[in-house]
Structures are given as structure tokens and as C-alpha cells.
Amino acid sequence: ETGVTQTPRHLVMGMTNKKSLKCEQHLGHNAMYWYKQSAKKPLELMFVYSLEERVENNSVPSRFSPECPNSSHLFLHLHTLQPEDSALYLCASSQDWTGGSPLHFGNGTRLTVT
Amino acid sequence: RKEVEQDPGPFNVPEGATVAFNCTYSNSASQSFFWYRQDCRKEPKLLMSVYSSGNEDGRFTAQLNRASQYISLLIRDSKLSDSATYLCVAVRGTDKLIFGTGTRLQVFP
């Protein structure tokens, strides 16, 4: 069973749509993350949740809204996105929210905003 | 200046070759470092942690040079399956992972 599962794998949406990305981890980890990966740019941390509490929000526009109902599930709600938001969105988890814990990534959602 | 810098490559090497990548970091307070591997259109996966004393895992060797603020990854006896992008990660403080843009490796027959 895959440790971190993301759905959908691909998503095309218009600028007026509302959609949600889902992430589930089966590793018993306490921290979950959303990252954005754009071409030729480093991975950008968007949000961190530790034990269901948001511990970091890296100046992400409000059109991205995270939700963490429990330590195994993480959502990213999207609304009124812009074409520059097209990217690969990666969910990750780690044992705890310290830099020494390796990240386990999901296979990502490739988002295209038209 | 980026906090973590990598040569984007690509590095094109024949099978069996030895190849090395460097990654420089600007924050001298960074304590922990990692190398991740990312295959084309896939997610990053942890390749190895980088320890102060250096560490080896099969054909892969990672080293840390604190004085010059860089880490390196050496791959011996390259395989076709080693073709991927290698991401360098520095940990700022206790919790902030800073990723480099990655170095692309292409191993050819």
C-alpha cells in the first residue's frame, strides 16, 4: 500500500472553478505538508500541519485553503485560481515536524489552470 | 543569492562512469542535509541523509564540507536507472527544509 496517496493525479480547471486536492497518509506520521513544484523552480513549501494544527503558512494566497481534519488526511481547497498556479502539487508527511525527519511524498497532482 | 544552489545540468554520462554533484548552501546555521531523487513526472524520494562524517550507501557517497558550505553526492558505476533529478536539501534551523532546484543526470548506454 502506498504510504502517501494523492488524488486526483491530474486536474484541469477554469479560473472560476472550485476544486479540492486530497492527501492521505498510512504511515502513522504526525506532520503533513503541501508543496508546490513549478518548472525550473525549487519546491516551495505552502503549508505545514503538525498533529492537525497548522504550524506554518508561507504567505500563500487565500485562493489556496488547506484543511486537516485528522492526522492522516490533508486537503487543499482551490478557488478562483490563476494560470500561474499551474504546477505539480505535492503532499508529504513526516514522523514529526522537525528538520531531521525525512519527508515521504505522494505522487502529486498535476494542476492546469485554464 | 539562493539559499541552496545546484548546477541544473544535465550531466550526461556513460554507464559505468563516476559522477559527482555539488550543492552549496548559504545559511551557515544549517545543520542537517539530505539528497532526494526525483524521476521524471514522479515525486521526490529520499536518497540519503548527509552526515558530518560523510556516509556511503552502496554506489552512493555523500559528503559535507562545513568550511566551504557545500555537500556533495558521488555516484560510482552509474546505471541507466540512475537517470533522474537529484535534489539537495538543507535544513534551516530545526524545521525548515530548503530545496535546491535539482541537478539532472542522464546516463546513456
Q: Does A10 touch chain B (CB under 8 A)?
A: no
Q: Does A106 touch chain B (CB under 8 A)?
A: yes
Residue A104: closest CA among A53, A36, A28, A44: A28
User: Cβ of A99 and B87 within 8 Å?
Assistant: no
- CB B34 within 8 Å of CB B46: yes
Element (H, E) at A68: strand A64-70
List, in order, residues 6 or more apart from A3 with CB less than 8 Å away.
A25, A26, A27, A93, A104
pLDDT tens digits for range A16-38: 889 999 999 999 999 999 999 99
Residue A29: closest CA among A63, A71, A69: A71
CA B50, B55, B60: angle at the middle one, nearest 5?
Answer: 95
The two most distant CA atoms of chain A are separated, in Å, by 40
User: Cβ of B32 and A106 within 8 Å?
Assistant: no
Q: What residues in B contact A102, CB-CB < 8 Å?
A: 34, 46, 49
pLDDT tens digits for range B7-59: 999 999 999 999 999 999 998 878 889 999 999 989 999 999 998 888 999 99
User: Cβ of A107 and B43 within 8 Å?
Assistant: yes
Q: Using the Cα atoms of residue B86, residue B99, residue A65 and residue A98 in order, give the sign of their dihedral.
A: positive
Q: Could you say which residues from 62 to 101 on chain B have a Cβ atom under 8 Å away from some Cβ of chain A?
A: 87, 91-101
pLDDT tens digits for range A78-110: 999 999 999 999 999 999 887 678 899 999 999
Nearest to B43 among A97, A99, A105 (CB): A105
Tell me the β-bridge partners of A105.
A92
Task: Please report the DSSP string for chain B in residue order.
Answer: --SEEE----EEEETT--EEEEEEE--TT--EEEEEEE-TTS-EEEEEEE-TT-EEETTEEEEEETTTTEEEEEE-S--GGG-EEEEEEEEETTTEEEE---EEEEEE-
Task: Specify the pLDDT at position A93.
Answer: 95
Give the mutation candidate from A101, A103, A107 for the B interface (greatest B CB count, under 10 A). Answer: A103
CA B58, B92, B73: angle at the middle one, nearest 5?
Answer: 20
User: Which residue in A has a C-alpha nearest to residue B35's C-alpha?
Assistant: A102
Q: Which of A1-5, A46-50, A94-98 shows the highest mean pLDDT?
A: A46-50
Residues B59-67: what's their mean pLDDT? 94
Element (H, E) at A45: strand A44-50
| CA atoms of A104 and A33, how far apart (whole Å) | 10
**A102 secondary structure, DSSP code:** P
User: Kind of pairing, strands B103-108 and B11-14?
Assistant: parallel
Q: Does B42 touch chain A (CB under 8 A)?
A: yes
CA A111, A43, B100: angle at the middle one, nearest 5?
Answer: 145
